[in-house]
Amino acid sequence: MMKAVFSSKNCVSSAPSKRCHCMLVTGITLAFALLFWAVSFTSATSLADAIQWWYDQGLTKYSTSSSFRAYDTMRRDEAAKFFVEFMDAWDYRNSIYTRGDCYFSDLRRASSDLLDYISDACHYNIVRGSNGKFLPDHSLTNAQAVTIVVRIIDGWQSESGGTHWADKYYKRAKELWLDISRFSAKDNPATRGNVMMLVYDAAHGGDSSTWESSGDKDFDKILKSLTDILDE
């Protein structure tokens, strides 16, 4: 079906004016086809979709944005549970479970029922804390949320050489086709709903081996077809 749209044979005409008009129509048709193709690969995730998916997977007992407190910020101890349960449910174990020291001096400020998750998040090497502290009652930042998701599905990135320590995580997230548009203010607190949608996105096709090996090649083919039409 794509070949019929992109074929330059549709524009063969003895009259130059008709040929130009046909090329214009074909170009417009191609533009809409490109838009449709792009949307099919980057369909937006709604909060309702994400919450329903988490609920269906048994990863939350809440099925609405209000009961999930989607617009509240996410604490770091809450984030530890959130991401560890995601790793356990979807068997994301790219990060090696380490036996290193995961002692934090400020865990008395964490919810007691989340202490094991903090330990697991540290041993899974997705959250390491800073200067011997986990800062459990601090809000998770947007940069930290993006960083943790990239670490889970793709491993650690360099945290030097940019204007922000998380720049290379953001770059890699885009290469993995993750929707990080909600996380542009890197140092702002991340909301529970936005973090949920990011993880939902990661679980539904954010793998670069899928997107970059097929999607980018198809896009290059479409662009070449457009070039061939306009060059004739």
Q: What is the pLDDT of residue 17?
A: 54
Domain parsing of the chain, residue ranges: 2-41+212-231, 47-94+140-203
Q: What is the pLDDT of residue 207?
A: 38
Q: What is the pTM of this model?
A: 0.69
Report how far Cα 181 is from the mean position of its chain's Cα atoms: 9
Q: Amino acid letter at 218?
A: D
Q: What is the pLDDT of residue 59?
A: 81
Q: What is the pLDDT of residue 220?
A: 43
Give average pLDDT by consecutive 10-residue segment, the chain, 232 residues.
42 51 50 43 66 86 92 96 86 63 94 96 90 96 97 91 95 94 97 93 59 36 38 42
